[in-house]
Structure 1
Amino acid sequence: MPFSRLAAATTPTAHLGLGLAAVGRPGYINLGRENDLPAERTVEALRARTHELLDAAYAQGVRYFDAARSYGRSEEFLADWLNARPDIDDIVVGSKWGYTYTAGWTTDAEKHEVKDHSLQTYERQRAETDALLGDRLDLYQIHSVTPDSPALTDKDLHARLAEAAAQGLTIGFSTSGPAQADAIRAALAVTVDGEPLFRTVQSTYNALETSAGPALAEAQDAGLTVIVKEGMANGRLADPYAPDALKAVAAETSLGCDAVALALILRRPWAGVVLSGAATTVQLASNLHAAVVDLDEDQLERLAALVEEPGAYWERRGQLPWH
């Protein structure tokens, strides 16, 4: 399993990963992008920004990098970075299929991505990913599985995924939406020839949205590596947008709201990798301080009061504008 590289790592930041959703395309739903990205969001400008982030992350001990077919040119940018550094062999590279990027490098497209979990889409996107990342790809995940996803019941798709697993690729899935726990439990039941198909799960979990926690613990008990995404709630837990309770705890630790928010997730015994979605190296450095944040019981109780009802959380997330 490639994630054994992370389990054996000794650097404090080894269990923090870098996700490329915010820098692989000009438009996304994270708050504060008008300040985070170059004024001209050209392909070359975001390629340079991505490489800058990857360099900084690797230098500070980050060893998991996360892309997706729908993150614009994230796979391309990551592949360029890897090709220029052939001696780097201690990282884990993950990507995802199931959404197609349709924004055409704009921020105001009618649709930015289209979801399709069919076998045909897997075959097409697997070939596209392979052309860019080749044998540097360690993990391939189904993007945003929900309880009604055909990816949970398509036996032909399961057979093709099992073939990829037999050839050395780790197969996983990610989840989104208010029914993440149901999707996780359904995916844990998927087997091929009596063997579990999925070896990783990537889910949204943060100070505002904790509903997937029990199911993620079950996944970890079943032997899956758990990857946590959207730990910053798309910027809602970062300055200046963070709730007052989080700002108060951050002030007490003398660190940023982002570091505290990510530290809260790192405390979960089932959290194998927690993703930073930083768009600048300053944000990244602040995020990585999560590894040294120490929270007492009083602070944890105050942060626990921030939890929202899942339906309300995902409704608000769905209203965030692409910009």
Structure 2
Amino acid sequence: MSMRIALGMAALGRPAYINLGRDTALPADRTVDAMRTASFEVLDAAYAAGIRWVDAARSYGRAEEFVAAWLADRGHADVTVSSKWGYEYTADWRPDAEVHEVKQHSAARFERQWSETRGLLEVGLYQVHSLTGDSPLFADEDLRFRMADIGVPLGFSTSGPAQADTIRRAFDLEVGGQRLFSAVQSTWNLLETSAGPALAEAHTEGARVMLKEVMANGRLAMQPPGPVADIAIRHGAGPDAVAMAAALAQPWADLVLTGAASVAQLHANLMPVRLDTVDHALLRDLAEPPEQYWRTRSQLRWT
């Protein structure tokens, strides 16, 4: 099962993020050294649990740096690393920064961030961070050619209420008669299922499908709806394990990301839960309208 799970570094590479429950999982003093140590601890625990995929991004503070240092120190040759470009981390390690990251999908940013990533890591997948329908990438043929030229499999992540439309549009993009993207990483969880049909189509057509934010940025773990809490009690697990199990139950999901910020959170996420038909029926109607879900997400505080 762990081979279908990847570790996402969004909560570990910088001192502040929007996940609920993260504030008590991390060191009180979030210096670079303390966060590096926390990252190594979670990476070690993930590797011991059989996880062999780690996902980072240029905007995740020092996540790429931490992963590169961990790999160099541990010598693991069987770990695939994916990363993303498009957002730039701007908080300068200040948890109270007014702006933590700035998005720009330009050829200039791609060239600079790709150079920064490959200076640290050998990646098995390089993704456009948070592709949306208004991204300049859809109209910028030069950018698409530059991306296709790096010799690394390409993917994209999605966010927002129109994920499904973005997924379908992006997989129609070609360079030199070849499909530009071979992977997609989208938000899917019990509260936001709208991308599901498009992700199923992508999987059927041979793309790698990765699910992110399966805890709804901690909402399903810290504020679980009644059915999630009830099912967790019945299975003797936490609500986070139920959320993970629901994501892993999707037959078109190749990888499911855990965003655990501590070893304890990771172990809780990975607790095996086998959902039955009654469970799935109880969970089926939890999804919120996409616009409502993303409006709520946009109001989460960076802590």
Task: Establish whether TM, by shorter chain, passes 0.5.
Answer: yes
**CA deviation string 1:90-127 (max 9, x = no partner):** 22100000000001101111110000000000001011
Deviation string for 1:169-200 (max 9, x for gaps)? Answer: 11100000000001000101000111101010
Is it true that 1:304 corresponds to 2:284 in the alignment?
A: yes
Runs of 4+ displaced beyond 6 Å: none
Give distance in 2, aligned partners of 1:137 and 1:296: 37
> What TM-score results when the alignment is normalised by the length of structure 1?
0.92
The aligned counterpart of 2:139 is 153
Q: Does 1:32 align with 2:12?
A: no
1:7 corresponds to: none
> 1:248 aligned to 222, 230, 236, which one?
230
Matching residue of 2:73: 84
CA distance, structure 1, for counterparts of residue 139 and residue 186 of structure 2: 20
Deviation at 1:288, TM superposition (A): 1.3
Does residue 109 of the first structure (1) align with residue 97 of the second (2)?
A: yes
Q: Which amino acid aligns with 2:213?
A: E
Q: Which letter maps to 2:51?
A: V
Q: Deviations over 1:137-188 (max 9, x none)?
A: 1111000000111112211111111111xx3x11100000000001000101
Deviation, 1:85, is 2.4
Partner Cα distance (1:229, 1:34) in 2: 20
Give structure 2 stretches of 5+ with no counterpart.
Answer: none
Aligned partners of 1:242 and 1:211: how far apart in 2?
19
CA distance, structure 2, for counterparts of residue 85 and residue 283 of structure 1 = 22
Tell me which of 253, 261, 264 is aligned to 1:271: 253
Name the counterpart of 2:302. 322
Q: Where do 5+ consecutive residues of structure 1 fail to align?
A: 1-11
Distance in 1, Cα, partners of 2:21 & 2:257: 18
The alignment's TM-score, normalised by the length of structure 2, stands at: 0.98
Residue of structure 2 in register with 1:143 after alignment:
129
Is the partner of 2:120 in helix, strand or coil?
helix
Q: Distance in 1 between matches of 2:273 and 2:21?
A: 24
1:93 aligns with 2:93: no
Share of identical aligned residues, percent?
A: 55
Quote the offset at 1:132 in angstroms: 1.1
2:127 is aligned with what amino acid? Q
How many residues end up aligned between the 2 structures? 303
Measured in 2, the distance between the counterparts of 1:47 and 1:120 equals 29
Q: Look up the match of 1:216.
A: 199
The residue identity in structure 1 corresponding to 2:302 is W
Q: Report the residue type matching 2:212 in the other structure.
A: K
**What is the CA distance between 1:244 and its match in structure 2?**
1.6
Per-residue deviation, 1:130 = 1.2
Distance 1:224 1:145 in 2: 16
Equivalence for 1:130: 118
